[in-house]
Amino acid sequence: MTKLRAAITGVHGYVPDYVLTNAELETMVETTDEWITSRTGIKERRILKGNDKGTSVIAIESVKGLLEKTKTKPEEIDLIICATITPDMVFPATANVIGTEIGAINAFGYDLLAACSGFIYALTTGSKFIEAGIYKKIIIIGADKMSSIVDYTDRTTCIIFGDGGGAVLLEPTTEDVGIIDSIHRSDGIGLPFLHMKAGGSRKPASHETIDAGDHYVHQEGSAVFKFAVVNMADIVLKVMRLNNLQSSDIDWLVPHQANKRIIDATASRMGIVEDKVMMNIDRYGNTTAGTIPLLLWDYESKINKGDNLIIAAFGGGFTWGAVYTKWAYDSH
């Protein structure tokens, strides 16, 4: 029997209109455009403004655009996986809200929580349903409204994060394209360095937790940086080794956009030049689960069918991983 692979057959993204520049951040906290640019590579990020607007707004806009461009009817969708750490509500799942809003009347959906690695975890999870022949059309979403959990008086975190996301369609293929391999890891050793202290069952919301600012992202940046810089590159090299890929075989590195210095270090250890590294951190900052689909959306017209992509991420938890995929279509 011919082996089925899961292939990304379309991508669409969404970023809110409001642009929060480094210049505006200079008026909010003690920082400078020069510091932010040189330490992170970020110039601006997007913010979703308006009451009652959650991550589903970003996801729904992405999926609507995706369905339109791939000429997919919502009733054809089997499964929706939404990777996010900023769900509209703790429950029900944001994937539920999205499914109903887009008219996916035959689908089921769930959220996946793996911080900045959420999208690639979801990509691997979805691809297994396709490889097993169970489902034919799966939507994988990575989206976050980070502004809902960022403290805009904390200069060490508010400069990094932004709102945005995107979605891809996964379908079966018997061609020599699609998702070929993936490796993932998680390790609770990272908990102290990147987490939200309250709002879960361990420490429910109270006046005290709000007064203490415990519902914001807590990050010890340099510890996260050190772990990310080593582990993201290590796992990328491992997936390359297991698939006999040399640097010259890689057409694109698609790295999570947390810090340009982490991305540069990963590319350098892989031995690939900057032209092969997808990058939009300057415009969007770190949108957590949103960075990878936003990159694929930005670069879609430049990717050729058959190109070898290594998608890599690192995030809170810690979580990390790498996915090797051969691009399945030309969109240009």
Ligand X SMILES: CC(C)(COP(=O)(O)OP(=O)(O)OC[C@H]1O[C@@H](n2cnc3c(N)ncnc32)[C@H](O)[C@@H]1OP(=O)(O)O)[C@@H](O)C(=O)NCCC(=O)NCCS
Exactly one of 259, 266, 280, 325 binds ligand X (CB under 6 A); that residue is: 259
Q: Are 317 and 188 in contact (CB under 8 A)?
A: yes
- Look up 256 and say whether it is catalytic: yes
CA 16 – CA 98 distance, rounded (Å): 17
Exactly one of 80, 159, 177, 254 binds ligand X (CB under 6 A); that residue is: 159
Look up residue 200 and give its amino acid: G
Question: Counting contacts by CB under 6 A, is residue 39 touching ligand X?
Answer: yes
Site string for ligand X, 204-243 (x = CB under 6 A): -----------------xx-xx--x---------------
Select which of 12, 22, 256, 280 is catalytic: 256
- Look up 332 and say whether it is catalytic: no
Q: Which C-beta is closer to ligand X: that of 35 or that of 299?
A: 35
Q: Applying CB under 6 A, what is the total number of residues that bind ligand X?
A: 21
Question: Shortest distance, CB of residue 40 to ligand X, whole angstroms?
Answer: 5
Select which of 116, 231, 259, 280 is catalytic: 116
Q: Which stretch binds ligand X (CB under 6 A): 48-56, 138-146, 243-251, 309-317?
A: 309-317
Q: Which stretch binds ligand X (CB under 6 A): 33-41, 103-111, 129-137, 168-176?
A: 33-41
Question: Shortest distance, CB of residue 114 to ligand X, whole angstroms?
Answer: 11
* CA 304 to each of CA 7, 48, 329: distance values in angstroms, whole numbers, following the listed order: 14, 32, 7
Question: Counting contacts by CB under 6 A, is residue 318 touching ligand X?
Answer: no
Question: Counting contacts by CB under 6 A, is residue 40 touching ligand X?
Answer: yes
Cα dihedral sign for 222, 113, 235, 169? negative
Closest of 280, 293, 8 to residue 126, by C-alpha: 8
Catalytic residue numbers read 116, 256, 286
Kindly list the residues in this chain that would bind ligand X in the complex (CB under 6 A): 31, 35-36, 39-40, 116, 155-156, 159, 194, 221-222, 224-225, 228, 258-259, 286, 314-316
